[in-house]
Chains A and B, each alone.
Chain A
Amino acid sequence: DTEVTQTPKHLVMGMTNKKSLKCEQHMGHRAMYWYKQKAKKPPELMFVYSYEKLSINESVPSRFSPECPNSSLLNLHLHALQPEDSALYLCASSQPGLKQAFFGQGTRLTVV
């Protein structure tokens, strides 16, 4: 099974809402990643968790809060987002040291 599952697939939220994105993998990978992708641009790294500890935060605003409750799950908690945060949010996993990475199908987020 080489699947990374993200939920929900689509999300519309208001600027005062709190929502969470979820990512799950069962490949035994110990590194998980959140990427943000705007239209016609490549994915941009937001966060990296290695062995359930946050190892990279690419200076992401605090309105994005990641969480890795166990080695299979990765969450991204969203609060007080801005319309410019509308994007495709992609989760990925790999063994640490970024061997082959596998991506989920993404959550398409719209902030209104």
Chain B
Amino acid sequence: GIQVEQSPPDLILQEGANSTLRCNFSDSVNNLQWFHQNPWGQLINLFYIPSGTKQNGRLSATTVATERYSLLYISSSQTTDSGVYFCAVRIRYNFNKFYFGSGTKLNVKP
């Protein structure tokens, strides 16, 4: 199956710093989402971004499908940004299955 790799696995930031999280995937994808899992376990949708660039407040994401990667940018980080960030992809011939990356654990310190 498809391999989805996220980097870095762990990230510690001081409040106010910026960061870039990366998601690499080994096959062509039809769908890519970024999620934030909060400390209570809920997966919160950040972006549905199979290609192109989107922005939502302090967060933005870019997917370059032809080069098989996606980036999540967090600017002016806040302590509430702490948690685990997952990217998940869907491939063309397995429509109903999401393949999750292993996640990036972010800790934003005050």
Contacts and interface: CB of A to CB of B under 8 A. Distances in A.
Contacts of B95: 96-98
Given A42-B103, A100-B33, A105 B41 contact: yes
A97 to B, nearest CB: 5
B43 A56 contact: no
Nearest to A103: B43
Given A42-B86, A42-B103, A106-B42, A101 B97 contact: no
Contacts of A90: 41, 43
* Chain B interface extent, by class: 20 to 34
A74 interface: no
Nearest to A45: B97
A97 B94 CA distance: 8
Interface in A44-61: 44-45, 48, 50, 55-56
Given A41-B102, A92-B43, A103-B44, 13 more contacts: A31-B96, A33-B96, A42-B86, A44-B100, A45-B97, A50-B96, A88-B41, A96-B95, A97-B96, A98-B31, A98-B95, A98-B97, A103-B43
Most chain-B Cβ atoms within 10 A of its Cβ — which of A33, A37, A103? A103
Interface of A: 2, 31, 33, 37, 41-45, 48, 50, 55-56, 88, 90, 92, 96-106, 108
A103 B35 contact: yes
A99 B96 contact: no
B22 interface: no
A4 to B, nearest CB: 10
B100 A43 contact: yes
Contact of A98 (B42, B44, B96, B100): B96
Contacts of B96: 31, 33, 48, 50, 55-56, 96-98
A103 B42 contact: yes
A92 B102 CA distance: 19
Nearest to A98: B90
